[in-house]
Each structure stands twice: as structure tokens, then as C-alpha cells.
Structure 1
Amino acid sequence: MDNQLVKFLRQKDFVLEKRLGQGATGNTVLLFDSVINEYFACKKYEPSQQALATKLFDAFVREIKLLHQVNHPNVVRVFNYYLYPEKHLGYILMEYVKGADVGSHLLFSPEDINQIFEQTVNGFAYLEENGVLHRDIREDNILITEKGVVKIIDFGFGKRANAASDFEKSVSLSWWCDLPAEFKSSIYDFRTEVYFVGKLFEKIISDMKIEVFKHGDLLDSMCKIEPENRISSFAEVRNSVLTADFSGATFGYFEREIYQKFSQKMSEIMISIETSAKYYTDAPSVLNNLEAAYKKVMLEKDVPNSGVVLLCFVKGAMKYRTKTRFSVEDDLRKFIDMFRSVSREKQNIIIANLSNRLDAVERYSDEMDSDIPF
């Protein structure tokens, strides 16, 4: 029957293998599940200062919520959690990342610097796209697996940012580099995250004297003290990375033709984009959006509402022409078929090019009309 309490028959048993680390809000251990022959990292909420146990428990619950809402190859996965609010006790069962922190990995494998930088940017671009601030960017919180995959970990200070007030600086950490200028105004936003990721890689490259890094100018633009002089988002950083070198991806005549026809129609339809709107930059997300949109209009000749297609790329408000429309077959389906058939590298380049087109669209501020009488 509905609304009945579901009780599982037995508790899950794990073997405690070893301790992995100790933090301000608890410690992390390695657990082994013999039933499925798998290892897990388990973070226990146990503040070093017991006087703060009640105050910090909400932050621990917030970390669980954030991790449950994200799913990306470069962000650590959470599998389960156990909370005991009455005791201010809790556990998070997470993916075990077998490897080293970003600095230790690059110390022994400096030739990996470019792919590690690009994966890190991809991970933070995904978090930015989903409105998640990490707020504790340091070497220990960016791990590299033995297979060279970046994993962003430790969202204990993480925060979901939906409104302007969410960007108020509300945590004070012991930072390892010069502070960005916006700290003077008590602001911590996604530009701040861009700064700290840039400074992290700048420090690693400088300390280890790595000479094979190919995004030096981009890194400089990430590390500007003044936010107005800094590249403003991870989406822009990612686009710059993707468009920096086309040598590995050659587009055929028909691929170019399909892209150009689709992107030109997009430019003709789009009028303006609200200033706070973001873009979808993750290729699987874009493809899923497009396929879902096609199913809604596949029996039509033209897409009745162009916003259905535009929202596959833009996450936010916009204004567009209603009389100029996408053709369901010649524009939308052909683009989807082409996008699905090309490599992930080509998909990323297509998204970067479309994002650059969208950047050229006029922006508007969605402010309430002052004539409204309430």
C-alpha cells in the first residue's frame, strides 16, 4: 500500500580495509563489499571539534544532496548515504578513486598536463552548468585515477547557486595563493572558481617547470586578479580549449554543410538571450536534449515552437522569432544524425562553435517592468 514504511531485511556488511584521510568534518576510509567484489570510499561525519558537530551537520547533508544531483565522468560518484540526524552522525558511500592528487600525478607524469587540465575544465564546466559551486579548490580535491581520469572530490563546502545572494562569500578558508579582488566585496561566484583552478595549474606548471602545456594564454586569462579582466566562465574556458587545435578533427563536406545550415537557421531565429542564461556544454546532454525535442515534433513538417530546439543548447530565458522555423527533417533530424555519428571530439567542437555563435547574440536583462502596479 502507498505511504507504508519500507524496511530492509538486513544491514549491509563491509570490510574496513584502511583509513584514507582525515578532514575538518570527518574521516574517510576504504571499505570492501565482498558480495559484488567492489571497493568504496566511505566518508564519516565526525568533526574534529565536537562543539561544531551540530552547526556543520547541515553542510554534510548539503554535500550529499549536491553529489546525488551530479553525474559526470570527472566528478566523484556517490552511491548511498546513511544519516542519523538525532545523533548528528552520517556516512557517504562514494566511488573509490585509486590514484593520486593532481600535483603528485603530474610530478611523475608531466606529459599528462594538457589532458588533465582539459578534463578538470570539463568537470568544472559541468558543475557550473548545473549551478554548483565547489568552493574548496586545491590539489587534494582533484584526484587522478591510475587510468588518468580526473575526479573532482570533497564537496563539503559546496553550494548550489540559483540566485545572486548565493554568490555571497560565506566561507573562510586558508587559501594557498593570492586572493581574487572580488573577495574584498565578499563575492564568491563561478568567476572565482575559474580563478582558483587557473592559479592551481599555474602553480603546478611553475613549480614543476612543465614546458609542454599548450594553453598558456588561456591560463593567464583565468588568473587575472580583477574579475572584469578574467575569462568569465568555465564554458568559455572549455570552448577556448576545444577550438585551440583542430588538427585532430577533420570535418567532411556534408558534416560542414549540415552544421552550417543548422547554425545559420539558429542565428536567424534567435533575437536575444537573457544575461544570466548558460549553455549546455556536455555532448551527451545536448544529444539527449535534441532527441527528446525531435520526438515531440517528428510528425510535423516544421518545428511549431523553435524554443523547443533552442532550449537544447541554452539553459535560461531568450527571445526568438516565431515565423522563422526549423524544418523537422532537413534541419533538426539531419543535424541530430550527424551529431550522433561523429566522434566525441567532433561533438565538442560543434558545441564550442555553436556556443560562439550564441555569444554573438544580443543580451538583455530580465528586469521587472517598473510600470507593473504591484
Structure 2
Amino acid sequence: MIKPGTIVEFNRIKQFIHIKSLGQGGMGDTHLFKDETTDMLFAFKKYAPKDSNYIDEHYDRFVDEIKILFQISHPNVVRVYNYYLYPENKLGYLQMEYIDGVSIADFEPFLGKGWPEIFTEIISAFEYLESKNILHRDIRPDNIMIDKHENIKVIDFGFGKNLVGKDQDGRSVLLNWPVTQLPNETADERIYNHQSEIYFVGKLFSNIIGGNFKDFKFKYIIDKMIQLDPHDRYASFRDISVDISQGVLAISFTEEEKRIYRNFAKILSEYILSHSGSYEPVNDHNVILSRLSNLIRNSSLEVYIQDNTQLINCFVNSGYTYVPKNDILLSTIIDFYQLLQQLESHKQKIVLDNIDVRLSKIKVEISLDDLPF
């Protein structure tokens, strides 16, 4: 019987077949390996700086990158599988997802995704990092890859930073892809925060699409992202995502999909009378799908759902007042659930963002008991 706190060492030898080198950099090399057991391909990043100066600091940064990557799980961010550290030699290896693709600078839309879809996935990735309080800090074309299935992958967190405690002010060294002008907060105060990342992502994207920028349907969003004054810029990637969702819903969905969404969203928003104290949405689409599935299963023999709170709780975490009348058709819930299941992840997000906007407009009632005096 193993006691809690016991250190257990798994030291079985695991072998990989070297396929080829993927590139070299100042902090080490990256190689492609094949796992003999699973036949999966992995990119191994070897930390071995060419410059022996500041070797302890650079090694600590490599360990920080590992810590950041193990917090991340998002389809548009590179996935890490394992790490191997040799602190006595200040060396290490990072086993990561192999991305078979090209830099965003070399990508040319053909028959698949266009620039609006690519832009949407980039914002989704950085919105996720923002929710984790992680700054990338090295936004350049080579660090945004597009794989052979045209999926965006944000890579290289070697200069990433987790904003916790005293670091919340966002003061940081500047490590980004060069631009002609820095945003005001960076140029004047050396502050680099999520609003700064919004600026650099916007500048990168407008540069990548070049002459097509005037015809880009989200140009108005880009224009706001690249304002030098942070007061004129978007406050968060979340705000950008909501603006994208509101603009996309009308164009990239079929009439039947829009009908199903509108029927469901209308019922849901009309049956919540008010939020109590504050509005706290459920932000995880997997949680929403799971709760909807449970609701459908528990009501499978009914024509109408028997408890409206079971539906509202799929989308709202906070308290609320609601219409108790049991006349919401189960078929309406099933149609919406099936729609969500069949949509691609970025379209799921658009639908849920639009529901979030609807629900956020419902009045919030503050109880007098909640007031301080």
C-alpha cells in the first residue's frame, strides 16, 4: 500500500526514433521523433543555449515555459506531452505536439478556411490565454503556425509569463515582433499586459493580410485593436470575441441553424426574469453540453421540461428569478443540443457568445441585504 507523499519513480526506458531536425535557435534545437509504441510523431525541443552567459536565468525560463504549457489545453495552442530535465547540466527536453504546417506568413487560403476564420481562431487562442492570466510576449509570424488541416497553433512560450501576485501590473520586457510604433502604455511606461497583446496581434494580422485588409470583413475590429491609446483599444480578447460572434452569426450559418438558435435563445432569455446580485455565465462549452445532455436524459419521457432551473443552470452559475411555468418543449432543447454538437468548435463558440450577450442584458437586481450600509 503506497502512503500519500511517497515519491514513486517511473524509470522504464522509452525509445523514440529520430526522423529529422526541425530547426535551430539560440536557446537550442528542435527535432522530430517517432514513438516506437504508438507510431505518433512528436517535436522535441532541446534546451541547450549557444550562449553560456546567463545560463541559470535561461534554464529557469525554460522551466517556466514547461509550467505554463502544462496549464494550457486549447485546440489552437501547441500541446505539451512530457518534459525531461537535467538540472545538474542545465539541460532539458520538452516533448510537444508536432505541427505539420507553415508559419501564418507563408499560409495562402485556397479551398478551406479564409482569413476571417483564421483570425477568429487566433482570437480564440489568445482569449483562452487571457482567461489563464498568461502573456505570450513573443507575438511574431513564426510563432503562429497553421497545420495541414488549416488549424491555428500558437507556439513557443519561451518568453511567456504567468501574471500572478505582484506581476499583475503587467510590467515586462518587450520581446515582440517589431512594429513601427509601440502602444502608449509600453512606449511610455514599459507596461506590457493583455491589452498590449491585443495591439500586437492586431498589428501582426493586418500586416499578414496586407493588401486584402481593406476588404477584410473584420477590419473594424482590427482598427480598434491597433489603437495606440489603450482607452481607445479593446479592453480584452473576450470583448473582441463577442464582436466577432455578433458579426459572424448572420453570415456563416444556414437559415435552419439560425432558426434553431433563435428559437432556443428567445425562450431561454425570456424565462429568466432577472439576475440576483450579479450575472455569472457558464463559460465552458463542455460543461454546457454535459448539462444539456443530462437535462434531455432526465426529461426524455416528457413533452415539456419539468424544471426550468435545469435549463437555466446550463448557462448561468449565479442566482436568478425565473418563469416557473412548464411549457418549454423538450424538442426545442434537443434541436439546440444537436445543433451545438454538430458545429465546429469556433461556431459553437459563436453561438454561445451570442447567448451570453442576450443573457447579460437581463436586469440585475441587488438585494438591500447585500449593501454594506
Q: TM-score range by the shorter chain?
A: 0.7 to 0.9
Percentage of identical aligned residues: 35
- Which AA in structure 2 matches 1:225? L
> What secondary structure is seen at the aligned counterpart in 1 of 2:153?
strand
Q: Which of 191, 198, 201 is residue 195 of structure 2 equivalent to?
A: 191
Q: Which runs of 5+ in 1 are unaligned?
A: 312-317, 364-368
Aligned partners of 2:273 and 2:322 also within 8 Å: no
1:226 — aligned with what?
Answer: 229
1:89 — aligned with what?
Answer: 91
Tell me the CA shift for residue 220 of structure 1: 0.6
> What secondary structure is seen at the aligned counterpart in 1 of 2:29?
strand
Tell me the CA shift for residue 155 of structure 1: 0.9
Distance in structure 2 (CA, Å) of the matches to 1:221 and 1:175? 19
1:341 — aligned with what?
Answer: 338
Tell me the CA shift for residue 92 of structure 1: 0.8
Question: 1:98-137 CA distances to partner (integer Å, 9 max, x unpaired)?
Answer: 1110001139899832222121112112222232221111
Aligned partners of 2:176 and 2:200 also within 8 Å: no
Distance in structure 2 (CA, Å) of the matches to 1:81 and 1:295? 42
1:351 — aligned with what?
Answer: 352
Aligned partners of 1:80 and 1:92 also within 8 Å: yes
Q: Given the two structures, how large is their TM-score scaled by the length of structure 1?
A: 0.79
Q: Given the two structures, how large is their TM-score scaled by the length of structure 2?
A: 0.79
Aligned partners of 1:262 and 1:331 also within 8 Å: no
2:77 — aligned with what?
Answer: 75
Aligned partners of 1:75 and 1:153 also within 8 Å: yes
Distance in structure 2 (CA, Å) of the matches to 1:51 and 1:151? 31
Distance in structure 2 (CA, Å) of the matches to 1:89 and 1:327? 62
> What secondary structure is seen at the aligned counterpart in 2 of 1:272?
coil
Distance in structure 1 (CA, Å) of the matches to 2:104 and 2:111? 10
Aligned partners of 2:221 and 2:240 also within 8 Å: yes
Distance in structure 2 (CA, Å) of the matches to 1:328 and 1:28? 61
> What secondary structure is seen at the aligned counterpart in 1 of 2:274?
helix
Tell me the CA shift for residue 336 of structure 1: 5.9
Tell me the CA shift for residue 72 of structure 1: 1.5
Distance in structure 2 (CA, Å) of the matches to 1:36 and 1:255? 41
Question: 1:290-339 CA distances to partner (integer Å, 9 max, x unpaired)?
Answer: 6689999x9994649x888523xxxxxx7x44xx2476976798786444
2:367 — aligned with what?
Answer: none
Q: Which of 263, 267, 270 is residue 261 of structure 1 equivalent to?
A: 267
> What secondary structure is seen at the aligned counterpart in 1 of 2:42?
strand
1:181 — aligned with what?
Answer: 184
1:26 — aligned with what?
Answer: 28
> What secondary structure is seen at the aligned counterpart in 2 of 1:310?
coil
Give the 3 Å change call, closer, same or farther, for CA 261–104 of structure 1 in structure 2: same
Distance in structure 2 (CA, Å) of the matches to 1:333 and 1:131? 39
> What secondary structure is seen at the aligned counterpart in 1 of 2:115?
helix
Which deviates the most, 83-92 or 249-258? 249-258
Aligned partners of 1:339 and 1:347 also within 8 Å: no
2:251 — aligned with what?
Answer: 247
Distance in structure 2 (CA, Å) of the matches to 1:143 and 1:10? 34
Aligned partners of 2:143 and 2:155 also within 8 Å: yes
2:115 — aligned with what?
Answer: 113
- Which AA in structure 2 matches 1:350? V
Distance in structure 1 (CA, Å) of the matches to 2:325 and 2:24? 55
1:2 — aligned with what?
Answer: 2
Aligned partners of 2:27 and 2:50 also within 8 Å: yes
Q: Which of 133, 136, 148 is residue 134 of structure 1 equivalent to?
A: 136
Distance in structure 1 (CA, Å) of the matches to 2:182 and 2:157? 21
- Which AA in structure 1 matches 2:216? F
Question: 1:63-87 CA distances to partner (integer Å, 9 max, x unpaired)?
Answer: 2122222211111111111122333
> What secondary structure is seen at the aligned counterpart in 2 of 1:71?
coil
Distance in structure 2 (CA, Å) of the matches to 1:242 and 1:200? 21
Distance in structure 1 (CA, Å) of the matches to 2:55 and 2:326? 59
Tell me the CA shift for residue 243 of structure 1: 1.9
2:153 — aligned with what?
Answer: 151
Aligned partners of 1:21 and 1:28 also within 8 Å: yes
Give the 3 Å change call, closer, same or farther, for CA 30–253 of structure 1 in structure 2: closer
- Which AA in structure 2 matches 1:193? E
Distance in structure 2 (CA, Å) of the matches to 1:344 and 1:221? 29
- Which AA in structure 1 matches 2:226? C
Tell me the CA shift for residue 201 of structure 1: 0.7
Give the 3 Å change call, closer, same or farther, for CA 212–59 of structure 1 in structure 2: same
Tell me the CA shift for residue 205 of structure 1: 2.0
The 5-angstrom pairing of residues 273-292 of structure 1 reads 280=283, 283-288=285-290
Distance in structure 2 (CA, Å) of the matches to 1:52 and 1:109? 47
Q: Which of 306, 312, 316 is residue 310 of structure 1 equivalent to?
A: 316
Aligned partners of 1:271 and 1:361 also within 8 Å: no
1:366 — aligned with what?
Answer: none
